[in-house]
Amino acid sequence: MSRICQITGKKVMVGNNVSHSNRRTKRRFYPNLLNKKFFLEEENRWVTLKVSAAGIRTINKKGLKNALKQAEEKGLIKIY
């Protein structure tokens, strides 16, 4: 699975390393992703998601069920 948050959709960004002499070389900025298990009380089971730190905050704010529903509508996850 690629480095994409399943809740927010954050993914790898591309930028430049800039040296003191101002030479630019390509680099990648990775999102802060974690494999985390959440307990889905409605279905009485555990769900494992690859989420960013911002995704965990979103789940804490909206609730797991609402966050999963919105991620499914955006097309970030198919089944959870």
Locate all alpha helices (DSSP H) within the chain, ordered by sequence: 53-62, 64-74
pLDDT (0 to 100) of residue 52 = 98
pLDDT > 70 in the chain, percent: 99
Global pTM?
0.86
pLDDT (tens digit per residue) in 30-79? 999 999 999 999 999 999 999 999 999 999 999 999 999 999 999 999 98
Instruction: Name the CATH code of domain 13-74 (choices 3.30.160.100, 2.30.170.40, 3.40.50.150, 3.40.50.10800).
Output: 2.30.170.40
Query: 80 and 7 in contact (C-beta within 8 Å)?
Result: no
Q: Where are the domains of the chain?
A: 13-74
pLDDT (0 to 100) of residue 79 = 81
Could you give the CA distance from residue 25 to residue 27 in angstroms, rounded to a whole number? 7
Query: 38 and 60 in contact (C-beta within 8 Å)?
Result: no
- DSSP-derived secondary structure letter, 10: -
pLDDT (0 to 100) of residue 1 = 57
Could you give the CA distance from residue 8 to residue 61 in angstroms, rounded to a whole number? 13
